[in-house]
Structure 1
Amino acid sequence: MASADAKMSRFQLTAMVVGSMVGAGIFSLPRTFAGATGPLGAVIAWLIAGTGMYMLARVFQFLAERKPDLDAGVFAYAKAGYGDYPGFLSAFGYWIGSCIGNVSYWVLIKSTLGAFFPVFGEGNTLVAILVSSIGIWLFHFMILRGIQQAAALNMIVTIAKIIPIVVFILILFFAFRMEMFRFNFYGGGLDGGIFEQVRMTMMVTVFVFIGIEGASVYSRYAKERRDVGFATIVGFVGVTSLMVLVTLLPYAVMPREDIAGIRQPSMAGVLEAVVGPWGAVFVSVGLLVSVLGAYLAWALICAEVMSAAARTRAMPAIFARENKNKVPVVAMWATSIVIQVIVITTYWSTDAFGLMLNLTSSMALVPFLLVAGYALQLTTRGETYEQERSALRSRHILIAAVATVYTGYLLYAGSLKLLVLSAILYAPGSLLYVWARREQGKKVFERTSDIVILALATLGAIVGIYWIATGYIVL
């Protein structure tokens, strides 16, 4: 897949970032934010999230340029900075978290259809699961035909799905009522102070920002290495602007309590309240295009992450196997099977979309924290900065430090329940690491710290299973 004709253009890489960021999350922002805070809290939340994620995007940008040999994406930086087992956990966590995120897409698609066809309910009825299953395998076999063809389709879909979002923003801009915006400003009727309101929004901001690393994951396909950084920053700035407007403008057309009570996708309900029933249909069609496009982008990313981990010997070698179209076929099968299993389990979930959203965010935080931490290591040691002016290095140290503090704060802003749910996945997933080390004839754990990490993950998994069994955690 390294031949010149298989390389991705700058525009295609940017489309991968935009396509993977604009998915289910942006269509759910009005209700999600309105249930937690008012415009003041929303602005503060986006300032925190935007600054933190911008710094993380800058980290991906300068790591792509300074460490071109680390072309396997997110997990390669964790492995370089912290060793084989943390590198594996980063790869596995990012992969399984992305699979869970893909499940949320299917849930939201069926929930959207449920507004018009009650048989789909909230996206987790038997009919919804059956239709989702058909979709999973249709995408699976399309992707097996070739990554380049799928990437080209993703670029077209990315352009198409931005249109309804822009139309939504323009309509609400002209319907803007300042007195309504002022009425909602402080989030009246909500419990807790502004700090608590902002904290409640943090996990959803993680979910909607996941995808800024899309170009980094595909860096080995870039025609020029600097295209990776360009795609990351341009995609981030453009999508962030859309998300902020989608969050704030509804506060100027409806009371906060009404927005919080709209079923997902809440963008549809907001537009329906402004222009009538056709607004809900318009947004719903846009969501279907958007989410199907995002699913395509993330199915590609899932398979590529697992394949890249296998190529660098962090995963069993079988996952690096490619078909005649240069698609990592075993990794793709593993991805589709895991997505299928999780889709089936949503039948027993009381809030399938919310659970998938929060768990995806939680699983992504560990890889993001390790990337930021590696960037901080690199800059403080001065590695690759020997011939550079000190001002540039100082600026990169600051960027890496802010990104590290931000991702660490997000782990705090989440909850212990999400951490133990994550551990339920991380602990048994470590069996893949044991498999990979055994087939290479290496000692499984070479560091005491690796054993400590495994012990903590195992303990967390046991606690998580116990809390689910006793009803303390409701899925």
Structure 2
Amino acid sequence: MSRLQLTAMVVGGMVGAGIFSLPRTFASATGPLGAVIAWIIAGTGMYMLARVFQALAERKPDIDAGVFAYAKAAFGDYPGFISAFGYWIGSCIGNVSYWVLIKSTLGAFFPMFGDGNTAIAIAFASLGIWMFHFLILRGVQQAAFINSIVTVAKVIPIMLFIVLMFVAFKIDMFSMNFYGGDLTGGLFEQVRATMLVTVFVFIGIEGASVYSRFAKKREDVGAATILGFIIVTSLMVLVTLLPYAVMDRASIAGLRQPSMAGMLESVVGPWGSIFISAGLLVSVLGAYLAWALICAEVMFAAGKSKDMPAAFSKLNKNGTPVVAMWATSIVIQLIIISTYWSNDAFALMLNLTSATTLIPYFFVAAYGFLLARRGETYQVRPQELGRDRIISTLAVAYTLFMIYASGFKFIVLSAVIFAPGTILYFIARREQGKPVFAKTSDWVIFGLLVAGAVYGVYGIATGAIEI
């Protein structure tokens, strides 16, 4: 894959469902001031994380599919598995959010789709899942080429939205919305309420790192990560802030998702909603393709490194991880069915994706921190040591803050998913004739996961935890 294709994987992975939902999602929580602070925190933290990914890609070129492999290198086998499983399941949940938003978008034109959780909507999404499944089985390179084309196509409606929002800009409206209007709660709480959203829309920043084994040049991995980050961050900040200058905050918060469609309709009329909805369908389908590829690649790499059962390392004649792809599609299908009983399926999938993905991100930041602290690999370009220590420290602080900001509910729900997932680790260790948990710390981590899972299941059953 060229630098352009790797950059397209980053942009394609990041620009999906989230960016089209930003106006309402932010307006429900805060005004422009809180939004600016949230993006400064998120942008700075994710930039530091992107720089850690870049440094690790250059300094540890032997580690492929780095998201979980870095956790294993830093903390051992079971944390490595937790990172791989968390990243995979979080990505699967994120893929479900794409289908939920597609169904909700169609619901604006075809009432039978409702808000995306009707039986007909679920059947439609199921058909799409398996169409993409068999497309991907035909070969990764073919799918990556399609993703490059789709990435260009889906940025066009976003750019038009930004231009038209600038044209309709009203400074007095922006000023009125600046502090959040009639929102209750302090500025800190407003910012905290947006944090999981910013994680969700930044997920995909590691797209080039995941596909590092396909890169023509190793240095292209880091360059594609930074370039993709700059492009997407610029788009997301503008999509968030400009609507505040066109419509009052409460009205933006009341828009149907995807709220970008309602915003453009308020400026140019009904065709704006249709145009954005069409762009969203292209965008989300492209993002789903990119993320289905990433899901399968992570499980393949984990199977190859024996962190998952060996079956996941099996390739078909087209070089696609066939068992990993089947497992990914089946899990997505099951979660899609579960949305039938969810009160707000899109919000649940968005927040749960962010919470489960933060754990692997923390491990990546921590590994970068450990390398810099020990000076490992810094015999080459030692002048970068001080800079990388600062960057990795900030990346660790950011991921820990985000885990805190996610809230107790989603930490517990993550445990409900992680604990039973350990069955895969049990199988992988038995295949190798190794003890399941080699360290006391592994038992402690597993014990905490089980305790959290038990509490989570009890909370869901009694209604204390709403989904």
Judge same fold: TM > 0.5, yes or no.
yes
Which residue of structure 2 lines up, in the alignment, with residue 163 of structure 1?
156
Q: Tell me the residue number matched to 1:179.
A: 172
Q: 1:446 aligns with which of 431, 438, 461?
A: 438
* Aligned equivalents of 2:459, 2:409: Cα separation in 1: 9
Question: Which of 201, 226, 248 is residue 194 of structure 2 equivalent to?
Answer: 201
Percent identical:
71
Q: Are positions 1:334 and 2:317 aligned together? A: no
Alignment of 1:68-217 (within 5 A): 68-217=61-210
CA offset at residue 388 of structure 1? Answer: 3.0
1:457 match: 449
Corresponding position of 2:315: 322
Instruction: Please report how far the alpha carbon of residue 72 of structure 1 lies from its aligned counterpart in structure 2 after TM superposition.
Output: 2.1
Runs of at least 4 residues off by over 6 Å: none
- CA-to-aligned-CA distance 1:77-106 (integer Å, 9 cap, x gap): 000000000000000000000000000000
Give deviations 1:183-222, integer Å, cap 9, x for gaps.
0000011111111100000000000000000000000000
Inter-partner Cα distance in structure 1 for 2:381 and 2:105 = 52
Question: Distance in 2 between the 1:111 and 1:199 partners?
Answer: 26
Residue 474 (structure 1) shift: 1.2
Q: Distance in 2 between matches of 1:262 and 1:72?
A: 39
User: Counterpart in 1 of 2:461?
Assistant: 469
Aligned: 1:311 with 2:304:
yes
1:253 matched to 2:246? The reply is yes
Partners of 1:208 and 1:73 lie apart in 2 by 20
Q: What residue is the counterpart of 1:400 in the other structure?
A: 392
1: CA distance, partners of 2:403 / 2:100: 25
Q: Deviations over 1:258-285 (max 9, x none)?
A: 0000010000000011111111000000
Q: Which residue of 1 aligns with 2:51?
A: 58
The separation in 2 between residues aligned to 1:182 and 1:254, in whole angstroms, is 11
SS for the counterpart of 2:61 is: coil
| Secondary structure of the corresponding residue to residue 237 of structure 1 | helix
Counterpart position of 2:407: 415
- The aligned amino acid for 2:433 is G
CA distance in 2, matches of 1:399, 1:368: 14
**Separation in 1, partners of 2:212, 2:87:** 16
Which residue identity is paired with 1:49? A
Distance, in Å, in 1 between the alignment partners of 2:375 and 2:267 is: 55
| Residue from 284, 290, 294 that aligns with 1:297 | 290
Q: What letter matches 1:235 in structure 2?
A: G
- 1:473 Cα deviation (Å)? 1.1
Query: Per-residue displacement from partner, 1:351-402 (whole Å, max 9, x unpaired)?
Result: 000000000000000000010001000000000012433x410000000000
**Which residue in 2 is equivalent to 1:346?**
339
Q: What is the one-letter code of the residue matched to 1:311?
A: K
CA distance in 2, matches of 1:51, 1:387: 27
Q: Distance in 2 between matches of 1:215 and 1:130?
A: 33
Do the aligned partners of residues 387 and 126 (structure 1) sit closer, same or farther apart at CA in structure 2, a change above 3 Å counting? closer
Unaligned residue ranges in structure 1 (runs of 5+): 1-7
What letter is aligned with 1:78?
A
In structure 2, list runs of 5 or more residues that go unmatched.
Answer: none
Per the TM alignment, residue 73 of structure 1 is displaced from its structure 2 partner at its CA by 2.1
After TM superposition, give the deviation of residue 118 of structure 1 in Å. 0.5
Report the Cα offset of residue 443 of structure 1. Answer: 1.1
Aligned residues: 467
- Matched residues in 2 for 1:355 and 1:447: separation? 34
3-state SS of 1:324 partner:
coil
User: Which of 232, 242, 245 does residue 235 from structure 2 map onto?
Assistant: 242
Structure 1 equivalent of residue 424 of structure 2: 432
Distance 1:423 1:464 in 2: 8
Q: What is the RMSD of the two structures over their aligned residues, measured on CA atoms?
A: 0.5
Name the amino acid aligned to 1:119.
Answer: M
Q: 2:106 & 2:436 partners in 1: Cα distance?
A: 48
1:15 is displaced (CA, Å) by 0.2
Q: Report matched runs for 1:215-234 at 5 Å.
A: 215-234=208-227
Q: Find the residue that maps to 2:381 and give its secondary structure.
A: coil
The CA deviation string for residues 169-196 of structure 1, in whole angstroms up to 9 with x for no partner, is: 0000011000000000000111111111
TM-fit CA distance, 1:472: 1.0
- The aligned counterpart of 1:3 is none
Structure 2 letter corresponding to 1:178:
I
Secondary structure of 2:55's counterpart equals helix
Provide TM-score, normalisation by structure 2.
1.00
